[in-house]
Structure formats: structure tokens, C-alpha cells
Amino acid sequence: MKNRNWNDEHEWKWQWIVAAVFVLCIAIWNKAEAKTTDYGFPPVTMDVQMANGNNGTFLCPSERWCYIKALEYEARGAEQYCVSLTMKRDGKVVWYRRYQ
């Protein structure tokens, strides 16, 4: 025996509308945050000014890492080719060293 209701359409439109509204609500109220460090601490940067004009900024994972990097520079002769090293946390000077 054949199924006589094979041609009936199902009303699925309201389910798609509910799903679309749900996804739209999640997209609107979801708050995207970009953190600069793993634990939400303010970023630590080290500005390097060199005598030949090649200046740069390092983004450090911690103040300790920046200080160790400064000691490595001094071991390689930073007094000769660096003008200054300045370590900043969230834009405020934490530590600096002037060579020339």
C-alpha cells in the first residue's frame, strides 16, 4: 500500500526563524576581547635607542624577561652601540638605563 500523504509539505519555516534569531542574538551580545598577555596584565615594552639610528621596541612577556635581555645587551657591549634602554609597563616608565 502506498503512502497517500507523500506530497504533504511540512511547516519547518518557524524553526529556521527561531534558529536564525538565536544565532543573531549570540552574535550581537557576544563580547570579543583581545588580551595582550595571558593573564590580563598590562603589556611590558622595552624601547631601544641605538647610536646609529636603528631604534626599536620589544614586547616582553614580563619585566624580568626585559631585564635579562638588557643584561644580555650589556654583555655584548651595549655601552658602545646603545644610547638608552627604557622599560615601560602600560606606557609608564618602570626602568631605564642611559649609556651615552
pLDDT confidence of residue 9: 62
What's the sign of the alpha-carbon dihedral 19, 20, 21, 26? positive
* Spatial separation of the C-alpha atoms in residues 89 and 44, rounded to whole Å: 4
Judge whether 69 and 82 are in contact, CB under 8 Å: no
pLDDT confidence of residue 93: 92
Helix (H, G, I), strand (E, B) or coil at 1: coil
Start-to-end Cα distance in the chain? 99
pTM of the predicted model over 0.95: no
Which residue has better confidence, 69 or 35? 69
